[in-house]
Amino acid sequence: MNKASDKVAGEVWTSKLAFLFATAAAAIGLGSLWRFPYVAGANGGGAFVLLYILFVLVICVPIMIGEMAMGRRGHGSVIGSMNRLIRAEGAWSGWRAIGWLSIAIPFFGLSYYSVVAGWGVDYARLAIVRGFAGIDATGSRGVFEELIGSPWRQAAFQFAFIAGVAIVVALGVRRGIEFVSKIKMVALFVVLIGLVLYNAVTVGLGPSLTFLFYPDFSALTGAGVLTALGQALFSTAIGVGVLMTYSAYLPKGVSLPQSAAIVSGSVIFIAMMAGLAIFPSVLFYGLEPTEGPNLIFVTLPVAFGGMPGGRIVSIAFFSLIALGAFTTAVGMLEPVVAWLMERTGLPRARLSYLTALAIFGVGLPSTLSFNLLKDVHPLGFLPPFAGKTFFDVLDFGIADLLLPLNALLLALFAGWAIRRTITPVETDLSPSAFRIWHLTVAIVAPVAIVGLMIHILA
């Protein structure tokens, strides 16, 4: 590939279905399987879930259509696509920040995301090797603290996870990303539905259905409303670079609104299934659904330890967590590698391994944040980062600041800066639907995201 080229040459999906599988697999990860259950539990359940679904459909889907259209029109890496669109419109060069953020967010995001993913891999190993039979809350917390207290153990699983991701990206779009994404999506649906059916037979779904789908608005605060918007943005992979990059490999003739609807629908469905896979056991065994981030790794093993067939269920569940995180990580590495290929002309495989190694190195302080560096607060002199470890700084900086900022910039760019380039034809929308879409990305979505950011920084 010529270094001056703006295009990622030789990459194209084999079919529309392959694109949908890969995009949904990239979006559905720890955001849906780990983060959604605990934020829904912490924010009262049903009312939060209803708002989350509303935000995905009303705010996220229009931005997804815009980001996909930008990728298909730009037909390059996120930076290459942004450069082409800016030149075509004669737009302000500052909009290139979208491209750079779409590289920085997945690079630094994967450096700490892989830490939690490594926990999932380790817990899948524990479930296979010994299970959680008879474990109580104290014992479960001890298992988790033993894991995070060992820098070598954490680093080993983090490295193994990132290495596997690099191998898939090195194999390319068709042989690597497509293949693994299809396996993930099929396994995801089969295992989650199996877990929900198991819960229906053994402990019943009634209390969980009420908790998740009966909207008690008295349990929802203003902060919870904005958390639902943040979760919607987080779980649909907007602004992470993957939607624009994967759409660059998409030929004409594929409906972007239909694709965005299918991907977002899959995200919602999997999040609901994850809730029904987790909360029945939590509620039946008298555990707390408001446990927060520890819900998966501390609370659930207690439930698995007390249920019939709990070992098999725990193996299936934690394997699902690890697999869910894996394809999301693939989607985070690909935008960085695509840009480096475009920039340097070096082989995909070499760049995949070198980038993964760099991400692992950058992620080591996050790994050590739970043991050797747990008392180090690198940005403690700044009020928003007071008391935050390296891991917390990256988590807050990426998920709560940069990701909403990039989503805001994407909406403004699509709504105001490229009116000639992003047309009804480019978005596959009718003129009337295009007007509604334009109103949403130009005004509604930016206002909502600005409100979220003000709340986060207040």
pLDDT at 3: 41
Whether 283 is in a domain gets the answer yes
Contact between 316 and 194 (Cβ < 8 Å): yes
C-alpha closest to that of 318 among 84, 116, 124, 80: 124
Whether 4 is in a domain gets the answer no
C-alpha closest to that of 395 among 27, 30, 54, 77: 30
Whether 10 is in a domain gets the answer no
Q: Which residue has the higher pLDDT, 296 or 255?
A: 255
Phi-psi category of 308—alpha, beta or left, where left has phi over 0 and alpha has psi -120 to 50? beta
Mean pLDDT of 365-394: 94
Task: State whether the Cα torsion 140-141-145-148 is positive or negative.
Answer: positive
pLDDT at 49: 93
User: How many folded domains does the chain comprise?
Assistant: 1
Q: How far apart are CA 341 and CA 96, in angstroms?
A: 18
- Crossing angle, helix 403-412 and helix 222-235, to 10 degrees? 80
Whether 8 is in a domain gets the answer no
Q: How far apart are CA 149 and CA 118, in angstroms?
A: 14
- pLDDT grade, residue 377 (50/70/90)? very high
Stretch (H or E) spanning 157: helix 151-170
Whether 405 is in a domain gets the answer yes
Burial class (CB in 10 A: 0-12, 13-18, 19+), 360: buried
Whether 9 is in a domain gets the answer no
Mean pLDDT of 317-333: 93
C-alpha closest to that of 148 among 367, 320, 331: 367
> Which residues fall within 8 angstroms of residue 32, CB to CB, at 6 or more apart?
235, 267, 270, 271, 274, 324
Give residue for tokens 């992620």: 363
Contact between 260 and 23 (Cβ < 8 Å): no
The model carries a pTM of: 0.92
Which residue range is the domain that position 252 belongs to? 16-457
CA dihedral 74, 343, 397, 147 (to 10 degrees): 120
Q: Which residue has the higher pLDDT, 294 or 209?
A: 209
Whether 7 is in a domain gets the answer no
Mean pLDDT of 147-151: 94
Q: How far apart are CA 116 and CA 326, in angstroms?
A: 11
For the segment 91-104, what is each residue's pLDDT rounded down to a tens digit?
899 999 999 999 99
Whether 11 is in a domain gets the answer no
Mean pLDDT of 59-69: 96
Mean pLDDT of 307-311: 87
For the segment 174-193, what is each residue's pLDDT rounded down to a tens digit?
999 999 999 999 999 898 99
pLDDT at 334: 96
Q: How far apart are CA 370 and CA 391, in angstroms?
A: 8
> Which residues fall within 8 angstroms of residue 432, CB to CB, at 6 or more apart?
none
C-alpha closest to that of 384 among 373, 371, 374, 393: 393
Q: How far apart are CA 132 and CA 273, in angstroms?
A: 23
User: Residue 291 maps to which CATH number?
Assistant: 1.20.1730
Mean pLDDT of 420-438: 86
pLDDT at 60: 97
Q: How far apart are CA 30 and CA 243, in angstroms?
A: 17
- For residue 308, pLDDT beyond 80: yes
From residue 409, alpha-carbon distances to 13, 24, 59, 107, 280 in Å are 27, 23, 14, 19, 40
pLDDT at 426: 82
- pLDDT grade, residue 427 (50/70/90)? confident
**pLDDT, averaged across the chain:** 90
Stretch (H or E) spanning 449: helix 445-457
